[in-house]
C-alpha cells in the first residue's frame, strides 16, 4: 500500500508540473524523480527519529510497534519496486500460537525481505551480520524492531547474541529468524550450516519452522511492471520436545536434509 501511495503522489507531482506549471517533460520527470526519492528519505528519517527512543545499550523490553509496522510497509515497497512475486506453500503448517525459530536456506538479500512482508503476522525478527546492523539509520531502525547482529568471528559475542535471541523468544518479544549458512548460496547446493545458531530454539524450548526458498537469487534490478517468482516452502515444524531432545549437530543434519531434498525435488520437477 505504501509503495502505491508514493507512486501516486509522484504521479500527481508530475501532472501538476506538466499541466499547471506548463513545464517541459524532461524537467518535470527529473523533479518528480527527486520528489519520489525525497518521500522515501523522509519516511526512513522519520522511522530513525522514532527508533532513537529505544535504548540500544541493553536488550529490548518490547519491539516498538510503530517501527515494526513501518518496517513491514517499507519492506513491501521494495517487493513492489523489484517486482517480487512470492509463491508460498505450507502456510497451514505454521504454528498458530507461541513463538518459534524460523530456519531457511539463504539465496539472496531478498530472503528476509519476503518473510518480513508476507509473514509479518508471525512477528519474526532476524539475526543478521554486523555490517547490516551498522548501516546508518537502517541499523538503528532494525534494532528497535528486534533485529540482532551476530559476530561469527568471535565465539563469545556470537554466544551473547544467541542467548539474547533465546531471551526475546522466552519473553514473547518476537520469534527469531536465522539463515544458518551464514552467507548466500545462489545454487541448489547448501553451504555448511552453523549448527550453533540452532541452540536458540533449544534454550528457548520452542519449535523450529523449517523453510526452503528458491528463485530470490534471480531478482536483479527494479522491475515495477514485471515480476520474478520467488518460491517459499514451509517444509516442517519440528516440535519443541524433539528440538530439545536432539543434539545440535544431529538437528542441523536433519534440517539440511529437509531443505536439500526440497531443492532437489524442485530441480527435478523443473527438468520434467
Q: Average per-residue pLDDT in the chain?
A: 86
What band does 26 get if pLDDT is binned at 50, 70 and 90?
Answer: confident
- Among the ranges given (70-74, 193-197, 249-253), the one the predictor scored with the smallest mean pLDDT: 70-74
- pLDDT higher than threshold 80 for residue 152: no
Question: Which is higher by pLDDT, 115 or 8?
Answer: 115
Arithmetic mean of pLDDT, 127-147: 85
Answer yes or no: is 146 within a domain. Answer: yes
For 61-70, write each residue's pLDDT tens digit: 888 888 888 8
CB 142 within 8 A of CB 133: yes
Answer yes or no: is 60 within a domain. Answer: no
Report how many domains make up the chain.
1
Residue 167: Cβ-neighbour burial (10 angstroms; 0-12, 13-18, 19+)? middle
Q: What is the pTM of this model?
A: 0.86
- The CA distance from 216 to 209, in Å, is 19
Answer yes or no: is 36 within a domain. Answer: no
Answer yes or no: is 199 within a domain. Answer: yes
**Domain CATH number, residue 174:** 3.40.1130.10
Question: Which is higher by pLDDT, 243 or 4?
Answer: 243
Answer yes or no: is 4 within a domain. Answer: no
Answer yes or no: is 28 within a domain. Answer: no
pLDDT score, position 81:
79
- pLDDT higher than threshold 80 for residue 271: no
Answer yes or no: is 185 within a domain. Answer: yes
pLDDT score, position 197:
92
- The CA distance from 145 to 159, in Å, is 21
Its domain, for residue 106, covers: 83-271
DSSP string, the chain: -HHHHHHHHHHHHHHIIIIIS---HHHHHHHHHHHHHHHHHHHHHHHHHHHTTS-SSS--SS--HHHHHHHHHHHHHHHHHTTEEEEEE-GGGS-SSS--EEEE----THHHHHHHHHTGGG-EEEEE-HHHHTSTTHHHHHHHTT-EE--TT-HHHHHHHHHHHHHHHHTTS-EEEE-TTSS---SSSPPPP-GGGGHHHHHHT--EEEEEEESGGG--S--TTS-EEEEEEEEEEE-HHHHHHS-HHHHHHHHHHHHHHHHHHHHHHHH-
Answer yes or no: is 66 within a domain. Answer: no
For 212-265, write each residue's pLDDT tens digit: 999 888 887 766 666 788 999 999 999 999 999 999 999 999 999 999 999 988
Amino acid at each position: 500500500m505504501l509503495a502505491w501511495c508514493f507512486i501516486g503522489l509522484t504521479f500527481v507531482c508530475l501532472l501538476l508540473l506538466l499541466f499547471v506549471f506548463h513545464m517541459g517533460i524532461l524537467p518535470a520527470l527529473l523533479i518528480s524523480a527527486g520528489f519520489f526519492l525525497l518521500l522515501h528519505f523522509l519516511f526512513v528519517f522519520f522511522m530513525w527519529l522514532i527508533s532513537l527512543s529505544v535504548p540500544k545499550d541493553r536488550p529490548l523490553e518490547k519491539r516498538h510497534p510503530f517501527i515494526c509496522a513501518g518496517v513491514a510497509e517499507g519492506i513491501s515497497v521494495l517487493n513492489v519496486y523489484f517486482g517480487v512475486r512470492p509463491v508460498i506453500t505450507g502456510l497451514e503448517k505454521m504454528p498458530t500460537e507461541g513463538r518459534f525459530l524460523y530456519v531457511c536456506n539463504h539465496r539472496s538479500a531478498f530472503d528476509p525481505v519476503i518473510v518480513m512482508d508476507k509473514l509479518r503476522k508471525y512477528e519474526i525478527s532476524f539475526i543478521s551480520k554486523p555490517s547490516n546492523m551498522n548501516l546508518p539509520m537502517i541499523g538503528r531502525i532494525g534494532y528497535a524492531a528486534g533485529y540482532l547482529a551476530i559476530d561469527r568471528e568471535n565465539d563469545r559475542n556470537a554466544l551473547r547474541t544467541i542467548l539474547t535471541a533465546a531471551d526475546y523468544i522466552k519473553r514473547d518479544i518476537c520469534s527469531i529468524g536465522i539463515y544458518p549458512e551464514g552467507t548466500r548460496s545462489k545454487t541448489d547446493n547448501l553451504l555448511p550450516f552453523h549448527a550453533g545458531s540452532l541452540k536458540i530454539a533449544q534454550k528457548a524450548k520452542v519449535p523450529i519452522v523449517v523453510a526452503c526458498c528458491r528463485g530470490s537469487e534471480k531478482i536483479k534490478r527494479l522491475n515495477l511492471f514485471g515480476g520474478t517468482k520467488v518460491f517459499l516452502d514451509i517444509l516442517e515444524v519440528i516440535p519443541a520436545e524433539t528440538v530439545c531432545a536432539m543434539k545440535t549437530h544431529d538437528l542441523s543434519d536433519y534440517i539440511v536434509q529437509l531443505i536439500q531434498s526440497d531443492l532437489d525435488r524442485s530441480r527435478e520437477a523443473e527438468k520434467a
